[in-house]
Amino acid sequence: MACRSFLAAITVFLWTSQDGIAAVRRVTIQELNESETKFVGAEIAIEGRVAVIGAKSVQFRNCTIPFRSNEELTVTSRKPANAEVTGEMTFEGGRYVFQIRSLQVLSSDLDTFVERKRRIRVESPPATWYALADWAEQRGNFYKDHELLARADEARRQGVHLERQLARDRPRELLALAERVKKMDVPDSVHGSIVHEAYHTLWKESRTSPPEKLESLAKELADHLPGSLDPLRVSESKLVSEYIAKPLDVYDAADDATRRKLHRFLYTEVLQRFLIARLAPDASNGFDVAELIEKQIPEQKPLAESLRDKALASRAAEIEKLPRREMLALRDQYLAREQPKPAEQVVESWLTLRRRRLAADDTEGLLQLADEYRMLLKRADMADRLLFEAWQKNPAPEVAEQLQRYGYRQKEGKWLTQAEFNARPEERLEQALREGRIEKGMTGRQVRRGLGEPLSLTRAATAGQVSEIWSYSQIDKTRLTIHLIKRRGQEDLHVVEVTQVRLQ
């Protein structure tokens, strides 16, 4: 059956005369082809694109049913694009034939589109543009008309643009529009732009939102804005400044990678507001909030440090005055009340303040502080860090002794853990010597250490260079010949070639 792809469901309606009697029934070509028997004997009108108009016949595109006339057809246009025929469907000679009573030439689909678009007023609702887009898309798909399909996209985008303008500053309506746009033949970038505008508005509104709404909005951003959970590895201050100045313009002009960075900015802004809202008025829980910020927004490490400073400032008025004994007594009181976290924070604050009071050259103080971190907080990582800091400031024997005591080994000026020290790659030449091999790059001393004195030695001297040939007899009846060279400025000969020859 021909014409099966045009308009899955088109309303069939009656064209009624002034006296209320149905004069003619209008039917689409697709509906006609889907059920020819339904219209046999009925007066109907068919409209479609013309393939050929003859003297007494019409052939419509995408349709195999013949349309015939007993009278010659009058055509006002030489090559009409569209036409409408009125007449009756009959069944003759085993096939369906449409008997034409009259023919009317119609405008092309493109002209019809232009005219319908011209009649749409500025104040017309978006649905008017969507209806025009649907009509053009249906016709374009049926006739495979790419130009008409492009016009359909144009109309649909205009409808989306108009609806977006009407929903501006109403973010939930914009999100509903974005959901509908996903089902339309509209580029993904347009859908993403609408979603972004909605969440950018929600971000602005969140400045005065309570914590529970901030938390909910952050989760929503993470779900709908790709890249929200991807920390930024480098500062994007320039991009953020441009975005804050012209958010919608910068976003619409951005590529996918840049859009993901902007998503991350919006997300971290909302999440940061939520986390900061948890800060106590006296900032006494600054360590806890700082830990959350470092974990969830690593880009905001300076903010986390500032919160720790606020927490320290809140506690410092009392803790910095406490001697070690009283500080430990306060810690023990927290532990007795089964509050280990505050107990640990008391010790951490006391040690942090003590560290800040240390003089830059106080190596002994750093060593003592490292022991305190190791004993009081079980923080071997911080203790080791302080030992390395002491070594950098003063590489004294007592510092090296402490590092060695806790399992570090020094190699070529660098401190390694025992595991790193044991796993280090051995030097190639030393390994070769242990295995009884001579390789290029070895010194004369290394060769003698590995093989002893040569059986024979030949020397030649030229300007700036001494060349020697050393020979060794091997137990496998081969002779090993080693060519060594000593250049100006070198203290020892170096192997440049090794050959082994079997003796006859």
| Architecture label for domain 13-106 | Beta Barrel (2.40)
* 45 Cβ neighbours under 8 A, 6+ residues apart: 15, 24, 25, 26, 27, 84, 85, 86
Which of the listed CATH numbers 1.20.58, 1.10.260, 1.25.40, 2.60.40 matches domain 316-422?
1.25.40
Spatial distance between the Cα atoms of 40 and 36, rounded to a whole number of angstroms: 7
Closest CA to 269 of 233, 210, 228: 228
- The residue ranges of every structural domain in the chain are 13-106, 113-287, 316-422, 428-502
Task: Quote the CA–CA distance of 62 and 411 in Å, as a whole number.
Answer: 84
* C-alpha–C-alpha distance, residues 291 and 278, integer Å: 12
C-beta of residue 216 within 8 angstroms of C-beta of residue 267: no
197 burial (CB, 10 Å; 0-12 / 13-18 / 19+) is: buried
Q: What is the pLDDT along the chain (504 residues), one digit of tens a residue?
A: 333 333 333 333 333 334 444 468 888 777 787 787 888 888 899 999 999 999 999 999 999 899 999 999 988 777 888 999 999 989 888 889 999 999 999 999 999 999 999 999 878 899 999 999 999 999 999 999 999 999 999 999 999 999 999 998 899 999 999 998 888 878 888 899 999 999 999 999 998 899 999 999 999 999 999 999 999 988 899 999 999 999 999 999 999 999 999 999 999 999 999 999 999 988 888 888 999 999 999 999 899 988 888 877 676 667 878 888 988 887 888 788 888 888 888 898 889 888 888 888 888 989 999 999 999 999 899 899 899 888 988 888 998 899 988 888 887 778 888 777 766 655 677 778 888 889 898 999 999 988 899 999 999 988 889 999 999 988 778 889 999 999 988 899 999 999 988 876
- Cβ–Cβ < 8 Å for 465, 486: yes
Instruction: Give the H or E element holding residue 191.
Output: helix 188-205
**Matching CATH topology for 13-106 and 316-422?**
no
Of the options 3.10.28.10, 3.40.1640.10, 3.30.1450.10, 3.60.10.10, the CATH number for the domain spanning 428-502: 3.30.1450.10
